[in-house]
């Protein structure tokens, strides 16, 4: 999607009577094991679109600009903390999994009484930032905000129980619901915003006398209602937004939902997708106008595509910047590299980290470039490896050329001057320099600098051995 200019954060609007809104603390419950995943990884580290589930939730939380984020961890805690090492979050250990209410209690000691607390879940990754902003806006010191969802089939969800006047009175879990309550179609998502002082008191009164023997966070809804605190229920815009992950099938379903969401965003930004169902964006996409992307393209990390860029089928781009007019033909792999305007890449080319192409460069089939800069208008069209090389402008590199950059212990650079012509099958043994306008004869092994403007040839003398016969296998 097209990048927008960063805007200065607007001050939070004052609430009624001119009061300032309460600071926000976000708590992400991420202690579950996820037994049905049948994996050694904790559930919140399972991959969705190239990132752990918890990463999606954490990024959404950060977009709300909260005062603090706390993560409640438990199963596989060392792995979870290691995966998010260096993040500015608070960590709270839930050593025993005794339910969502018990999990939230572990983080509450670090949250001031005057904060609002937003509760999120590490295995519910597709919540929209706008949905949460609206939910937070409904909460106050005197009002709890609850995110609900309208369900065609509410099986497995807690039911939102309302009174005759339509006021939310409680949440009843599936296992504890009466037959009448099970017919309710308004489901609880578990996401809520509550004032910290009251929430702390409600959590302290939770009991585990239910079908699962756990401390349900949802029980605070009834406590709030009985205590005269209004419960403002807000419905999610779509069911897919609040779906959680418990097994591989659900994870695959969410992958499809996120893929479709990102494809739609790309098309709204002006990208022409040959088939939205076969477009896979796993990171951030920034595009210009009239970008065309063919089928089965995978985009990872941050990918920037200028005006008129075309990506052929079957390509993988990871942390790539391509300037206007550049064409990437089928089945190329590009990683941590950049190309100037009007380049032509592929088919079957590989640009590895550090590859930088200037304007009008051609990198052809079965050409690999690593940690190298290629000057304006230079060409390497066939079967070539350029590693740790500096190539000038207007250079022609023949098929089968290799910059021999590694001696088994160290990497060395190859320098090729402007306008040089490298014949096919040349071995350039680094460190070596080919001067401006130099020509290297085909089949040469160049181990010393080649002077500018001259032909350099380094071949062994061709010899024909008279009377030699090729060995033949003996008869059995």
Question: ∠ CA(451), CA(457), CA(461), 5° rounding?
Answer: 150
Helix (H, G, I), strand (E, B) or coil at 251: helix
Check pLDDT > 60 for residue 44.
yes
In angstroms, rounded to a whole number, what is the distance separating the alpha carbons of residues 85 and 88?
Answer: 9
In angstroms, rounded to a whole number, what is the distance separating the alpha carbons of residues 333 and 297?
Answer: 10
Which helix (H) or strand (E) segment holds residue 219: the answer is helix 219-226
93-120 average pLDDT score: 95
Q: Which residue spans of the chain are classified as CATH 3.90.550.10?
A: 22-242
φ, ψ for residue 108 (rounded to 5)?
-70, -25
DSSP E strand boundaries for 167-245: 168-172, 186-195, 230-235
Number of CB atoms found within 10 A of residue 393's CB? 18
pLDDT given at position 10: 45
Cβ–Cβ < 8 Å for 324, 309: yes
pLDDT given at position 145: 97
Which contacts (CB < 8 Å, 24+ apart) does range 378-386 have?
386/414
When computed from its CA atoms, the radius of gyration of the chain, rounded to whole angstroms, is: 31
Active site residue 115: no
pLDDT class of 383 with cuts at 50, 70, 90 = very high
Residues forming a β-bridge with 30: 73
Residue located via tokens 């099938």: 249
**Does the 22-242 domain belong in CATH 3.40.1160.10?**
no
**Does the 249-456 domain belong in CATH 2.50.20.10?**
no
φ, ψ for residue 180 (rounded to 5)?
-65, -45
pLDDT given at position 4: 44
φ, ψ for residue 405 (rounded to 5)?
-95, -10
pLDDT class of 34 with cuts at 50, 70, 90 = confident
Q: Quick one: CA dihedral 158, 163, 168, 169, positive or negative? A: negative
Short-list 282, 239, 299, 251, CA closest to 53: 251
pLDDT given at position 20: 65
**Residue of 400 and 7 predicted with greater confidence:** 400
217-242 average pLDDT score: 94
pLDDT given at position 9: 46
In angstroms, rounded to a whole number, what is the distance separating the alpha carbons of residues 469 and 418?
Answer: 47
Check pLDDT > 50 for residue 332.
yes
Q: What's the mean pLDDT when you consider all of the chain?
A: 93
pLDDT tens profile 385-441: 999 999 999 999 999 999 999 999 999 999 999 999 999 999 999 999 999 999 999
Catalytic choice (102, 115, 253, 382): 382
Q: Which residue spans of the chain are classified as CATH 2.160.10.10?
A: 249-456
Helix (H, G, I), strand (E, B) or coil at 172: strand
Residue located via tokens 């995966």: 83
Residues forming a β-bridge with 300: 318
pLDDT tens profile 160-184: 999 999 999 999 988 889 999 999 9
**Residue of 19 and 76 predicted with greater confidence:** 76
Check pLDDT > 50 for residue 7.
no
Q: Quick one: CA dihedral 195, 196, 200, 206, positive or negative? A: positive
């Amino acid at each position: 999607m097209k990048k927008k200019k960063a805007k200065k954060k607007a001050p939070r609007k004052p609430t009624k009577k001119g009061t300032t809104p309460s600071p926000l603390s976000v708590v992400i419950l991420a202690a579950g094991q996820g037994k049905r995943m049948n994996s050694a990884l904790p559930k919140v580290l399972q991959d969705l679109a190239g990132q752990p589930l918890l990463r999606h939730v954490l990024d959404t939380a950060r977009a709300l600009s909260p005062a603090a984020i706390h993560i409640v961890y438990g199963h596989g805690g060392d792995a979870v903390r290691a995966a998010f090492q260096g993040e500015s979050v608070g960590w709270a250990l839930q050593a025993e999994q005794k339910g969502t209410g018990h999990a939230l209690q572990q983080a509450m000691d670090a949250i001031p009484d005057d904060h609002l607390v937003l509760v999120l879940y590490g295995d519910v990754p597709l919540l929209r930032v706008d949905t949460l902003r609206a939910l937070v806006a409904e909460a106050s010191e005197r009002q709890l905000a609850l995110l609900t969802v309208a369900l065609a089939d509410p099986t497995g969800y807690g039911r939102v129980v309302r009174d005759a006047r339509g006021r939310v009175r409680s949440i009843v879990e599936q296992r504890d619901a009466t037959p009448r309550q099970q017919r309710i179609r308004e489901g609880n998502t578990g996401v809520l915003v509550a004032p910290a002082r009251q929430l702390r008191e409600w959590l302290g009164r939770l009991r585990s006398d239910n079908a699962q023997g756990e401390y349900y966070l949802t029980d605070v809804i009834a406590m709030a209602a009985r205590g005269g605190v209004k419960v403002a229920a807000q419905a999610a815009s779509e069911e897919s937004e609040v779906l959680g992950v418990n097994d591989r099938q659900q994870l695959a379903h969410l992958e499809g939902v996120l893929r479709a969401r990102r494809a739609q965003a790309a098309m709204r930004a002006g990208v022409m997708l040959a088939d939205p169902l076969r477009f896979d964006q796993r990171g951030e996409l920034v595009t210009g106008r009239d970008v065309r992307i063919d089928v089965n393209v995978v985009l990872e990390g941050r990918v920037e595509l200028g005006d008129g860029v075309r990506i052929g089928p079957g390509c993988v781009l990871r942390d790539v910047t391509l300037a206007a007019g550049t064409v990437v033909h089928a089945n190329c792999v590009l990683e941590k590299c950049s190309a100037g305007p009007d380049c032509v890449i592929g088919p079957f080319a590989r640009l590895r980290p550090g590859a930088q192409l200037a304007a009008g460069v051609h990198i052809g089939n079965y050409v690999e470039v690593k940690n190298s800069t290629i000057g304006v208008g230079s060409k390497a069209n066939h079967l070539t490896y350029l590693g740790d090389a500096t190539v000038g402008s207007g250079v022609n590199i023949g098929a089968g050329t290799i910059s021999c950059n590694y001696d088994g212990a160290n990497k060395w650079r190859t320098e090729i001057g402007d306008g040089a012509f490298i014949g096919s099958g040349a071995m350039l043994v680094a460190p070596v320099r080919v001067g401006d306008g130099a020509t290297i004869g085909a089949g040469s092994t160049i181990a010393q600098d080649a002077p500018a403007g001259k032909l350099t040839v380094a071949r062994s003398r061709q010899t024909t051995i008279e009377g030699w016969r090729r060995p033949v296998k003996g008869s059995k």
